[in-house]
Chain A
Amino acid sequence: MANEKRKNLTPVQQEYHQFEQARETKRPVLKNCVRAFFVGGLICTIGQAISYFYMYFFDFTEKTVGNPTVATMVFIAMLLTGFGVYDRLAQFAGAGSAVPVTGFGNAVISAAIEHRTEGFVLGVGGNMFKLAGSVILFGTFSAFVVALIKTIAVKWGGLG
């Protein structure tokens, strides 16, 4: 992709690209990975604790405990977003806080807060899923594709 784009540039632009890139602060990839590992792990540990809590004190099995756990995690993410903590956590953790379901909750809530001033219908309603919408769309779509592949494989390939 990057190389393809570069082909369309003039030699002067290409030269500048290299000149600029040599002076650019690089993303600290390794550091980000380590941070994401620990924060992501911490979030998942909290999630596991919550699911044990629901299993121990309520009649949820391992199979059914997912729903209340996710709801609780999203609720916590909502509170943290509202108090302005989550974006700071995310700057530190990167993917560690974006990948778990809390990141999805944060995407929804932050958009809702942001557009609150434009009213409930066109502001909150219309913009709430402006970030999370694509997650929902492509999540559903990829699930459909995978299901389709599985169906075909089972029917004709004799798999499973």
Chain B
Amino acid sequence: MMKGHRTWVFENRPVIVATATVGGPFEANGKIADDFDLLHEDLWLGEDSYEKAHKVLFEEAFFQAMKKARIEKEQVQFIIAGDLINQMTPSSFAARTLSTPYLGVFGACSTSMEALALSAFIVNYGGAKYILTGAASHNAAVEKQFRYPTEYGGQKPPTAQWTVTGAGVALVGKEGDGPRITSATIGRVVDMGLTDPFNMGGAMAPAAVDTIEAHVRDMGIDPSYYDLIVTGDLGKIGRTVSLDLLRKNGMELEEERYQDCGLLIYREGQPVLSGGSGAGCSATVVYGHLLHRMKRGEIKRMLVVATGALLSPLTFQQGETIPCIAHAVAIEYGGDDR
């Protein structure tokens, strides 16, 4: 059901039946390594190209999620997934392996929540029984496309972020036990005229603020309704900027109830500069770490705001600004569960 200007409320409350997360070597050294289902020691994952490794990340996450939910791939109606690589080949190729009907979506690093919102919408209205949804990114494959070669010695500024190697997949179903998706707010493309591709957090912060404010307004709730509002990959700078911006606009948020996936995933001292980023960042942290915490009862209601910078290497070289987007999905578990 539509509520306000751009928020969907899901009366049937689709369930996240199972989730699976796969990570790379850098994530294995991170803060939340225990929350991953599978961790790889090698960035190549035994493949002969990073793009293939990227695809394997996805496949493993898909199969792991189905295994955990104890369902066969024939029972899954759709896959809704996306990633950052040109033409989204890793997602499409992984969907080829599963040979399940597939919708590829692109929202840069906000893909995870974009796909989850759409899946919830479809499941809510009886469009499907089970949908596999997810997002992934591979550090080397993404850096290769968006920045310099991985081994190139260019000094990154402290505002730069580290692309997560990982895939996070959720199986959304009509019935079952698990965290429930209650509402979703679709973001607007916000462009504040920033052009520095090494400062994504700063560029994306206004988009996150816009979506959070829209969600709160549409739902007619106070932000304190949520135990945790978690942003996708704003990093240190983006988090500070967005928090201050929210406060400036008159929304009171407590520090510890406003977290960022890009800061949760890595340990202090890992050379990630401003934090993690990439489509896999919000996917792995939310589907792994945060949902585990939810199941342990530490969090009851959570708003995930995945942010994405909708640029391509071409546009920023042509001097265009970086348009950004953020999608919010509310997930609840326990409490007033029906």
Contact = CB atoms under 8 A, between A and B. Distances in A.
The answer to whether A and B touch in the complex, with CB atoms under 8 Å apart, is: yes
Nearest to A127: B149
A17 B194 contact: yes
Interface in B169-197: 191-195
Contacts of B205: 20
A27 B245 CA distance: 23
B327 to A, nearest CB: 21
Interface in B141-178: 144, 148-159
A101 interface: no
A117 B153 contact: no
A24 B192 contact: no
A106 B49 contact: no
Contacts of A109: 151
Nearest to A12: B192
B239 to A, nearest CB: 10
B152 A106 contact: yes
Nearest to A26: B158
B241 A117 contact: no
Contacts of A81: 151, 153
Interface string B238-280: 0011001100100000000000000000000001001000000
A19 B245 contact: yes
Identify whether the interface residues of A are mostly helix, strand, loop, or mixed: helix
B50 interface: yes
B156 A91 contact: yes
Given A16-B192, A20-B202, A117-B49, A25 B155 contact: no
Contacts of A136: none
A63 interface: no
B153 A13 contact: no
A24 B159 contact: yes
Identify whether the interface residues of B are mostly helix, strand, loop, or mixed: loop
A89 interface: yes
A126 B154 CA distance: 21
Interface in A48-75: none
B151 A117 contact: no
Contact of B152 (A16, A27, A111): A111
Contacts of A106: 151-153
A149 to B, nearest CB: 31
Contacts of B152: 87, 90, 106-107, 110-111, 114, 131
B195 A27 contact: no
A71 B265 CA distance: 42
B157 A27 contact: yes
A1 B205 CA distance: 24
- Name, among B148, B193, B194, B241, the residue most crowded by chain A CB atoms within 10 Å (CB to CB): B193
Contacts of B48: 117
Interface in B272-328: 274
10 contacts: A17-B194, A20-B202, A20-B237, A23-B240, A84-B151, A91-B156, A110-B152, A117-B49, A117-B50, A131-B148
Given A91-B153, A98-B155, 7 more contacts: A12-B192, A17-B192, A25-B157, A87-B154, A111-B149, A111-B152, A114-B151
6 pairs of A and B residues whose beta carbons are closest in the complex: A90-B153, A114-B149, A117-B49, A110-B151, A94-B155, A110-B152
